[in-house]
Amino acid sequence: MTPLRLKLTVATVAIASALTGAYSASHLAGIADAHAASAPTPALAPAPAAPLPALSGTLPGAVPDMSAIVAANGPAVVNIGVSGTRRTANGPEFSPLEPDDPFYEFFRHFRGQPQPGAKVPVRGQGSGFIVSADGTILTNAHVVEGAEEVVVKLTDRREFKARVLGLDKASDVAVLKIDAKGLPAVRIGSANATRVGEWVLAIGSPFGFENSASAGIVSAKSRALPDGSYVPFIQTDVAVNPGNSGGPLFNMAGEVIGINSQIFSRSGGYQGLSFAIPIELAMNVERQIVAYGKVQRGRLGITIQEVDQPLAESFGLKRPAGALVSAVEKGGPAARAGLEPGDVILSVDGKAIGSSVELPATVAALPPGSSARLEIWRQGGSRSVDVQVGKFEDDRLAASEPAAGPAGGRLGVAARALTPEEARRAEIKGGAVVQEVRGAAARAGLRPGDIIVSLDGKAVSSPEHLKDLVGNAGKRAALLVERGEARLFVPVDLG
């Protein structure tokens, strides 16, 4: 089964019951108190045991004591309750739960069916953390998006109605403000300085259990997710569940290095893969929202893909690195600077781009209108290109396309010339439309209907020209293929 990606939307969203005794916002409503179901048992005297040696975080294999971090930072972590309304579905079977949820039938029969299209109350929960003593709070955008009322609850049980200063769906960061002074605030650390394998700690409200702590390690950095987000996520194995959304991720110095945001799960709960937004990105969003009420980002107007080993060999790179440009937006900043499909962006203003996932966040941090120097790889050599950074308008900064699968053998395609209409839509002269695939082309992921635009940077003028290019190519070739509205490079081993 393909793993299902779930955003940690508000912890457990529930729609208030029209009957006496509303359905709980937590799916734990049907679980009886454990202590009420069993009689007390006599206490047994513990067997004497030798004292354990003191653990130190510096000893190999030692588990660090995180109690001091929880004690110091717990008061700065808040529970966020949201409420609003939602229109019911037009079908006869409305429920806020999925059909395979264990409470689906209970809710459907107990609550009764509202009229299709009727407005019903919706409540949910999430987490957040205080970043300044005057009541500025960070959380996820998806926690508060569309909420009509946001209530922040502190660990001392005080509650405040919060104002949403702004939310940024592109990064999934929101900034809230409550009217309070002298609040405990977290210390901000660095996700960039964090190393894979380090211990980390999350505090939040999983399933509504406020101020719960869980720990694990950093599993990976700069992780790209299939949603196309430009955020280079921190991957951890910290137990994160619905309700942890918007909560902080701490390092062992007690500093926040990320905002817990998403999980990969087949069940809807934690299964060992959780993802956090790097704190540098989140604080940049916070500064702009507080100062200007909105977020401005740079953009280049390109589509990129990862450079794997076959593509690196095809383009003459010593190793897989950088971000491969597979398409350039007509009239965009990159096009005006002279970037072309097949260019590999190796650095931006001297900052190396090790992987394609690093480029969108780097470009986003550039002020619109500023100038940036790109080091690119083109036709077997590196060169510098100056580009005037454009403005991100909820559009692509540098969208990623999936890399093609493994390749091998001869090309193995049957192709035809484009019709005038196809050439007009593709905005190309020449090209070759794939009709049949076999051998290496099939293994590389080519499909009937794909348009082969170029081979190793040389424009394909016709199917006959494609055949000549393949005959003169080296061991590996990189095909630029247009599929639908997207373009991507496909490496092929020609043997």
Structural domains in the chain, CATH included, are 5-24+65-177 (2.40.10.10), 187-292 (2.40.10.10), 298-401 (2.30.42.10), 413-493 (2.30.42.10)
Strand-pair category, 77-87 with 119-132: antiparallel
50 pLDDT higher than 60 = no
Grouping H, G, I as helix, E, B as strand and the rest as coil, residue 108 is helix
Q: What is the pLDDT of residue 382?
A: 92
Predicted confidence (pLDDT) at residue 88 exceeds the cutoff of 80: no
- Is 245 noted as a catalytic residue in this protein? yes
Q: Which of 268-277, 334-343, 422-431, 445-454 has the highest mean pLDDT?
A: 334-343
Comparing 108 with 271, the larger pLDDT belongs to 271
Give CA separation, 126 vs 101, 282, 466, in Å.
20, 17, 55
Q: How far apart are the first and last CA of the chain?
A: 35
Q: Do residues 441 and 450 touch, judged by C-beta distance below 8 A?
A: no
Q: What is the mean pLDDT of residues 316-329?
A: 91
Quickly state the pLDDT bin for 59 (edges 50, 70, 90).
Answer: low
Q: C-alpha 241: how far from its chain's center?
A: 16
Q: How far apart are CA 309 and CA 289, in angstroms?
A: 41
Say yes or no to pLDDT of 384 above 70. yes
Q: How many CB atoms lie within 10 A of CB 51?
A: 5
Residues of the chain above pLDDT 90, percent:
43
What is the spatial distance between Cα 3 and Cα 204, in angstroms, rounded to a whole number? Answer: 24
pLDDT at 91: 41
Q: What are phi and psi of 11, to 5 degrees?
A: -40, -70
Catalytic-residue membership of 142 = yes
Whether 245 shows a pLDDT value over 70: the answer reads yes
pLDDT per position as a tens digit, 193-225: 999 999 999 999 999 899 999 999 999 998 887
| Mean pLDDT on 365-391 | 93
**SS3 of 11-56:** CCCEECCCCCCCCCCCHHHHCCCHHHHCCCCCCCCCCCCCCCCCCC
Question: One of 27, 95, 142, 229 is an active-site residue; which one?
Answer: 142
- Which one is catalytic: 205, 212, 245, 274? 245
Residue 478 predicted with pLDDT over 60? yes
What's the pLDDT at 215?
95
Cβ density class 414-442: b for 16+ within 10 Å, e for less: ebeebeeeebeebebebbbbbeebebbbb
Annotation says 35 is catalytic: no
Nearest alpha carbon to residue 283 among 155, 129, 127: 129
Can you give the pLDDT at residue 127? 96
Tell me which of 168, 172, 450, 456 is the catalytic residue. Answer: 172
326 three-state secondary structure: strand
